[in-house]
Amino acid sequence: MKKILIILAIGFLVAIFMFIKNQKKENLTFSFYHWENSFKEKNIKEKLYIKVLDIAYSTKLEIVKSNLQEKPKDFIPVVYITNETMQNVDFSLVSNAIIQGLKNYEFDELQIDCDWSGSSQSNYFKLLEDLKSKLNKTLSATIRLHQIKYYTKTGVPPVDYGVLMYYNMSNISDFNTKNSILDNDIAKKYHYNFENYKLKLKLALPLYSQAIQFRENKALSIFEGVEEKDFDSNFTKISDNLYKVLNSTYFQGRYVYKDDVFRFEDIDEKELKIALNDFLKLSNNRFDEVIFYTLKYKNKFDLEKLIKGK
């Protein structure tokens, strides 16, 4: 009798867990990043996060504005800032540049994308505080996996919520990298401290594909949007995702040489589901939205089915 009760109790707990898990998925919504330097799409119904400014630094502050020929009724502007900028330029100058760059937009929320480091953390966090104070808008910031695992060193940005960029987690230029876009085995090495991370998170997942060109094991170029069928008779497959050039030729409009090697990187639905389910376990119900990168690949999978688990 005791064994039967234990079995029934375990079954009851499993049923509760599955119900909660399914409820989490049912409540999920999804949206898209648009990361091109221009926006022309009309009649877009999806929720969008559109990059409107690129801010970089070499010898001076450099600002590139995206050309929004069409403006969706509701979208969240995103500002991309290089870490070098926050290492070299006072936060107040960057803040003023952002506010000036946004003056022609109507928005209720702003997102900042910057992979900050220890040397830029203080300046970057001051920038976020300054923007929050001056704009009085909802403010979010992108977060990388290592910034959660080592949050006591990297700090937690002073924003309303974070977006965990669950991709670009491996060294793209390392010839031995399996897939720099998404590698769930690599991701698991960073599944620490989520329970201690106080910031509410959303999840960003990749939809794109690419090929990395290598010559003598050194990375040369990135070719975005490549499909496996693009490796024609001028290539030979030498392993699961490596292709060698047989004859010097043009590839995607660029000249490549004999014996160059391309690593083809793509996303499959199975790996996306693993990433989503892993994050559901880690996020402790502080998670309600998946942002896919990017809009132009929105038809790659049935995304409603993917996130709901139907």
Domain ranges for the chain: 27-208+269-308, 209-266
Q: Are 209 and 266 in contact (CB under 8 A)?
A: yes
Q: What angle do CA 256, 257, 259 make, to 5 degrees?
A: 125
Report the C-alpha gap between 170 and 187 in whole angstroms: 9
Report the C-alpha gap between 244 and 262 in whole angstroms: 6
Fold held by 27-208+269-308: TIM Barrel (3.20.20)
Summarize the confidence of residues 99-116 as an average pLDDT: 96
- The pLDDT confidence band at residue 308, using thresholds 50, 70 and 90, is confident
User: Quick one: pLDDT at residue 90?
Assistant: 98
User: Quick one: pLDDT at residue 309?
Assistant: 82
Handedness of CA 270, 30, 150, 55 (dihedral sign): positive
Q: Considering the entire predicted model, what is its pTM?
A: 0.90
* Residue-wise pLDDT tens digits, 20-75: 444 457 789 999 999 999 999 988 999 999 999 999 999 999 999 999 998 888 89
Report the C-alpha gap between 2 and 18 in whole angstroms: 24
What does pLDDT average to over the chain? 92
Q: What are phi and psi of 77, to 5 degrees?
A: -70, 140
